[in-house]
Amino acid sequence: QSVLTQPPSVSGAPGQTVTISCTGGDSNIGAGYHVHWYQQLPGAAPRLLIYGISNRPSGVPDRFSGSKSGTSASLAITGVQGEDEADYYCQSYDSSLSGFWLFGGGTKLTVL
């Protein structure tokens, strides 16, 4: 099956900007399907962070932002805080085979 590739881990000191990439292909992100992002705290269910590439649900701080270019997307955290330490997943749709929704492998953010 097609995959969305994320770096296994990223880190940053409080106040820094951290970026997490999500690289797909021509049957998912490159085909124009939207990318969405989730935050998963230890022991909790994933929480929607960004939908439709760059939209934030109510309650999500504006230090989180999303973007997309070609076959890749990115999540940026501007002014990272200790409470942001979590796993982050991107998600899109893939039109190969009979079509399916897929997630990236996840990125662990460590706040130094």
User: Where on the phi/psi map is residue 95: left (φ > 0), alpha (ψ -120 to 50), or beta?
Assistant: alpha
User: Binding to another protein by residue 54, rule CB under 8 A?
Assistant: no
Q: Choose between 35 and 77: whose C-beta lies nearer to another protein.
A: 35
111-72-100-60 Cα dihedral, nearest 10 degrees: 40
Shortest gap between Cβ of 19 and another protein (angstroms)?
Answer: 19
- Sole binder of another protein in the list 25, 34, 76, 79 (CB under 8 A): 34
Spell out the residues 6+ positions from residue 71 whose beta carbon is closer than 8 angstroms to its own. 23, 24, 25, 26, 28, 29, 30
Which residue in the block uniquely carries the two structure tokens 């900007």?
Answer: 17
* Minimum CB distance to another protein, residue 51 (Å): 4
Rule CB under 8 A: choose which of 5, 15, 26, 57 binds another protein.
Answer: 57
Q: Is 101 in the site for another protein (CB under 8 A)?
A: yes
Compute the distance between CA of residue 59 and CA of residue 86 in angstroms, rounded to an integer: 17
Q: Which residues bind another protein (CB under 8 A)?
A: 1, 33-34, 36, 38, 44-48, 51-52, 57, 89, 91, 93, 95, 97-106
